[in-house]
């Protein structure tokens, strides 16, 4: 019986360890650390850090109060990849309205940073044959003319700037990659 219990415990630990990082339940400290990796230091230093609501129309929970008008969020819970973001007030309101099922009323330009990148379907297979393509660090802009946005590239897997929308929504935003994911330096590698 002890052997069976030990085997079940080991299997549980191994399975949990192999789960994608973003699907594991994270502590508040881990969520804050994730969120603060999403943008440049001048944004994250004094940004508010929020956690996602437990229901679409619920309230975002403050993990850390900030003072500079920027808000950072950890990766969305339950997804396969940790994709944190930092948002100005316009882009954050767009997210909140969209998540709550309200039609966003964007009245200005909104900016977001996602230094950890985003995984998108690999439509073009320009850089590999997998089902997903990792768009590297990028900036997103909302509030541009929607008719013009519809004429732009909509394939994020070719490495070029593209337009995207939140699932179930039509409002497009521009995604501008600022560095290829493969171009990121390896941790501990010496630079010349």
The predicted-structure confidence for 159-181, as pLDDT tens digits, reads as follows 789 898 887 778 899 989 887 65
| The model's pTM | 0.74
Arithmetic mean of pLDDT, 45-62: 92
How many structural domains comprise the chain? Answer: 1
Evaluate whether residue 21 is within a structural domain: no
Cα separation, 54 vs 24, in Å, equals 15
What single DSSP character describes residue 185?
Answer: P
Cα separation, 80 vs 121, in Å, equals 13
Evaluate whether residue 96 is within a structural domain: yes
Task: Please give the residue that has the higher pLDDT: either 181 or 90.
Answer: 90
pLDDT range class, residue 79, cuts 50, 70, 90: confident
| Residue 86 reports pLDDT greater than 70 | yes
Evaluate whether residue 112 is within a structural domain: yes
Evaluate whether residue 98 is within a structural domain: yes
Q: Show the CA angle centred on residue 154, arms to residues 39 and 151, nearest 5°.
A: 115
Evaluate whether residue 8 is within a structural domain: no
Residues in the chain: 192
Range of the domain at 121: 26-182
């Amino acid at each position: 019986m002890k052997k069976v219990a030990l085997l079940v415990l080991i299997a549980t630990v191994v399975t949990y360890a192999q789960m994608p990082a973003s699907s594991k339940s994270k502590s508040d400290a881990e969520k804050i650390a994730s969120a603060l990796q999403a943008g440049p230091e001048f944004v994250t230093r004094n940004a508010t850090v929020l956690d996602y609501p437990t229901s679409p129309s619920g309230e975002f929970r403050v993990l850390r109060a900030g003072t500079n008008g920027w808000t950072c969020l950890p990766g969305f819970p339950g997804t396969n990849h940790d994709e944190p973001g930092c948002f100005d007030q316009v882009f954050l309101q767009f997210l909140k309205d969209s998540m709550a099922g309200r039609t966003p009323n964007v009245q200005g330009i909104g900016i977001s940073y996602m230094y950890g990148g985003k995984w998108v379907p690999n439509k073009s297979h320009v850089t590999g044959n997998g089902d997903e393509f990792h768009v590297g660090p990028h900036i997103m802009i909302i509030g541009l003319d929607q008719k013009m946005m519809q004429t732009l590239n909509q394939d994020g897997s070719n490495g070029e700037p593209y337009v995207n929308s939140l699932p179930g929504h039509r409002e497009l935003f521009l995604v501008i990659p600022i560095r290829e994911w493969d171009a990121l330096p390896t941790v501990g590698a010496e630079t010349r």
